[in-house]
Amino acid sequence: MEDQGWWGRFRRSESFAGLALVSPTALYALLLLAAPLATILLYSFLTDGDTQTRIVWDFTLDNYIATLTEPLYRAVMIRSLSVSILVTAVTVILAFPVAYYVSFHVAPQRKSLWLFLITIPFWTSYLIRVFLWKVILGYNGVINSGLTTLGIIDEPLTFILYNVNAIVITLAHAYAPFAILPIFVALEKIDRSLLEAGQDLGESKAMTFLRVTLPLAMPGVVAAVLIVLIPTVGDYVTPQIIGGGKIPMVANLIQSRMLDLDNRPLGSALAVVAMLVVTVVALAFVALNARFLKVKK
């Protein structure tokens, strides 16, 4: 029995087979990710109710006005963004030489061992790693007590104490493998004969690196920047533990508005704005590097 309509053709197509196969997973992501995100977006336009009603169905832009004009929110938003831009810069710049070393100077059969060593710390408990940085950087912490014992310093160093520097160090440590892997993949794809060609044509090693290697590695650098920048904006644990709750970032603010103050619309608006801001920054960065990204064969 051959059915002829578009449905019959669609049913036997490759597209249908793929969609049918992906549907359980897609449905899960739709219900537990897309729908909740849409709920947050909806909440951000509604009005806060009391402890009984929680949410009042009155459409308003007040939550966005508060988010954008209130000095506290703006200060926290700016701090979060600058911390995550700083962390991204530090992480990617420190990571590049490591990725370069593994790609260009490590024997092929030992590359996976290096990558495995780089990724292990990333898979161990984030909470414990953050807490350890607090212990390492504290007033009587490992660094200060160690340096005092060795007689190198008399007074504990204070610039590493529970402040923004400590947050940047901790986050840069946590996201290191995220930055190394995409750069490594981009470097691996570079055709080594291009580098020889550059040098045969009289370029110095440094110039070959700047004019051939670096532009070809840029897709990896851009990926690394995005994969570090976006999650760090919303980091909750590090400001909570390292900053002792005194230097909140946007995630801590979202949590306190939504749960402590039970103002779900305002918390939602903060979340939406934070995501929008980081998306704009990310897109601007991608646009700036657009010329490197289209060099595909």
Partner 1 sequence: MTDGRGLRLYAILYLVFLYAPILLLPVFALNDATIVAFPLSGFTTKWFGQLAQLPTLFDALRNSLIIAVSSSILATTLGLFAARASSRYDFAGKGPIMGLIMLPLVLPEIIVAMSLLMVLLGMGLNLAVWSVILGHTLICMPFAIAILSAAFQSLDRSLEEAAYDLGESRWSTFRLITLPLVMPGIVSALLISFTISMDEFIIAFFLAGAEPTLPVYIYSQLRFPKQIPSILALGTILVAVSVVLLTIAEYFRRRGIAKVGGKDTGGFL
b/e 176-199 (16+ beta carbons within 10 angstroms → b): bbbbbbbbbbbbeebeeeebeebe
Confirm or reject binding of residue 73 to partner 1 (CB under 8 A). Answer: no
Among 76, 186, 212, 241, binds partner 1 (CB under 8 A): 241
Element (H, E) at 55: strand 55-56
Identify the helix (H) or strand (E) that includes residue 48. strand 47-48
Residues 6+ apart with CB under 8 A from 81: 233, 277, 278, 281
Spell out the residues 6+ positions from residue 122 whose beta carbon is closer than 8 angstroms to its own: 174, 176, 177, 178
152 is an interface residue for partner 1 by CB under 8 A: no
- The footprint of partner 1 on residues 201-220 (CB under 8 A) is 205
- Which of the residues 20 through 39 are near partner 1 (CB under 8 A)? 21-26, 28-30, 32-37, 39
Q: Is 16 in the site for partner 1 (CB under 8 A)?
A: yes
The span of 57-65, 122-130, 194-202, 214-222 binding partner 1 (CB under 8 A) equals 122-130
Binding residues with partner 1: total (CB under 8 A): 93
* d(C-alpha 224, C-alpha 113), whole Å: 21
Residues 276-295 that bind partner 1 (CB under 8 A): none
For residue 86, state whether it binds partner 1 (rule: CB under 8 A).
no
In terms of CB distance, is 181 or 217 closer to partner 1? Answer: 181
Say how far apart CA 97 and CA 105 lie, in whole Å.
11
Q: Which of 8, 121, 197, 276 binds partner 1 (CB under 8 A)?
A: 121
R_g of the chain computed on alpha carbons: 25
Please give the Cα distance from 247 to 241 (Å, whole number): 10
Q: Assess 235 for contact with partner 1 (CB under 8 A).
A: yes
| Residue 216 vs 242, nearer CB to partner 1 | 242
Q: Which amino acid is at 125?
A: S
Stretch that binds partner 1, among 60-68, 71-79, 117-125, 284-292 (CB under 8 A): 117-125
State in angstroms the smallest separation of the CB of 148 from partner 1: 8
In the complex with partner 1, the residue whose CB is nearer, 78 or 104, is 104
Distance of CA 258 to the CA centre of its chain: 23
Nearer to partner 1, 73 or 184 (CB): 184
Per-residue binder mask for partner 1 (CB under 8 A), 169-188, x = binder: ----x--xxx--xx-xx--x
